[in-house]
Amino acid sequence: MKKKNWPTHSILAIAIVATWIKTYVVYHTSFDMEIENIMQQVILFINPLSFLLLIYGLSLFFKRPKARNRYIVLTSIILSIIVYANAVFYRFFTDFITIPVLFQTSNFGDLGASAAESIFLTDIFYFMDVIVIIVALKWLKVGEKFTIVKPAIRKSYFVFSAAVLFLNLGLSEIERPQLLTRSFDREVLVKNIGSYNYHLYDLYIQSKSHAQRALADGSELVEVNNFVRSSQADPTEKTFGLAEDRNLIIVSLESLQSFVINNDMNGHEITPFLNSLTADEDTFYFSNFYHQTGLGKTSDSEFLVENSLYPLGGGAVFFTHSGNTFHSMAESLNEEGYFTNVLHPNNKSFWNRDMMYKALDIQKYYDENSYIVNEENSVSWGLKDAPFFEQSVDLMAEMPQPFYSRLITLTNHYPFTLDVEDQNIPEYDSNSNTLNKYFQTVNYMDEALELFFEDLKEKGLYDNSIIVMYGDHYGISENHNNAMSQYLEKEITPFESAKLQNVPLFVHIPNSGVGEEVTEVAGQIDVRPTILHLLGIDTSKDMQLGADLFSEEHEDFVVFRDGGFVTDELVYTKNVCYDSATGVEIAVESCQPYIDRAIQELGYSDQIINGDLLRFYDLKTGNLLIEEAEKEE
């Protein structure tokens, strides 16, 4: 049968349409993006097109058809890899890849087990457009004569491509004013400008941030400093110095969310030890405390606690800015004679910790080489929590006192694998294997914490210490909302998802007798000033955005990295304002003052980090070095 002659640029048209349709389908099947109206649906449909017209259209500059076709096939493969990488990443982090994440290659080995859980045989679909293009090249009879596309035709083609882009941006500006200047939410960017254009925008943002440091001269810090001083919260006499001269032990509780505290799973108590602490007379339990991490997850929580600054929106500060000047909590404690250290049985380069801890002025990092790690005492990500705590207490018993030790747990980490002998409660019975196993690993961590407290007592470290424990980030992502709806017996709306970012914070001061439940809205950015004030250390000159949780001037206001927030009366998430008490959507004007404040705080924090502005600040005097230089002149 004689093949039909197809127009010369049929392969180009097929490639654009195939990748366009595939991308749109992926938007709906692989990413949990809230589409609120027809306009958003239209924008989502057209936003891949301008980029695809441009990138595939470059084939028009090739003279030979074979070269054009090879370029089109190679381009489709690269685009498919980008889409697929985002899909797999989203399954794990419920977020989109950024440029800095791509350079975090030292983490890839440790992420292997988690990544394997997120790859399926059906993922061949993400390369469906490549298959369509190859089949078209094989079966369609297309003109193959040597030809140069006329400049007029190319010009018309790229004018059309630009017109589609401006249409996309125009509609997006109507739907989301000042999208590219005010949005901290990658989902909003992808919904409006498309996944491909988002990566170009991300490249621009990263380049801009690197340029910020090169061009910064310290004058940028003046406005930031004025804001910090005006919003500073003074400590109260009741709690300032309450734990003075004690050892400081901070425990980062991997993936622990508050919905398991004082709760059960099918009649099984999930966290009996932590439950007992919520009513302990020596423990402050913060029940309305939120994580504020971004893509850096655990490393972001470390950054927040150490510096009282927000993490970056497009990657982990631990990777992107480990060469910066910081004024960490460890630095302040070093000045007070503390031996500062971190204990974490993982590869020292994971999250670039070996480099970042030097920048944070942490004296010693006890990594996996400081522990006895073998198959019997390890699971999934490494050393189990119980032997980790046991060996860590042995290490702390040899430390000079007072010491500041931060311990980072591992067992309650996705994919929540646990040996049978450590399973004290059964799995849950939802359609989510992740949530089903989560309760078991949380229960194991809780038991390990109880043993940790006992070991501290046996080694004589307990009575002269303050023990701070906090959930570092969420454990159950929005991808498991159906299962969470089953467990919590209510629909998981965007409002409920925001509230589920609630993680526990415990401040345990043995023999103090002053513990209570604190219901104020609080976040990880508040931990640094709170702890330093408890230890009797003045922070009035520190460049920090958080506030002492015990201060009467502390504000019930927690900002998320995507620009959302929670107050005692309002919740703002995914561009919608809610009444905090009822979960009912209300007019966005009610949230607007806090929206502006959230953008301001995140912006100031980004300026400090991207410009490395703390190199222009004298922590001891509280003076801007640029001002001192001007006085000398």
Q: Which residues on neighbouring strands pair with residue 247, listed in sequence order?
A: 465
The CB density around residue 244, as the number of other CB atoms within 10 Å, is: 13
Rounded to whole angstroms, how far apart are CA atoms 486 and 489? 5
Calpha distance 564→300 (Å, rounded): 17
| Residue 502 DSSP symbol | B
Q: How far apart are CA 222 and CA 355, in angstroms?
A: 29
Strands 617-618 and 585-586: unpaired
Other CB atoms within 10 A of residue 43 CB:
24
Q: Is 298 a catalytic residue?
A: yes
Cα dihedral angle (309, 315, 316, 317), rounded to 10 degrees? -50
Distances (CA, A) of 335 to 223, 228, 240, 277, 442: 28, 22, 18, 32, 36
**What is 326-392 written as a DSSP string?**
---HHHHHHHTT-EEEEE--S-TTGGGHHHHHHHTT-SEEE-GGGS---STTEETTEE-HHHHHHHH
Q: 476 - beta bridge partners?
A: none
Whose structure tokens read 């294997």?
Answer: 433
| Catalytic option among 298, 434, 441, 539 | 298
Beta carbons within 10 angstroms of residue 203's beta carbon: 12
Peptide bond into 402 cis (omega under 30): yes
Alpha carbon dihedral 90, 95, 100, 105, in 10-degree steps, equals -30
| Residue 518 C-beta-side C-alpha neighbours within 13 Å | 23
Of 567, 625, 614, 612, nearest in space to 213 by CA: 612
**Active-site annotation, residues:** 298
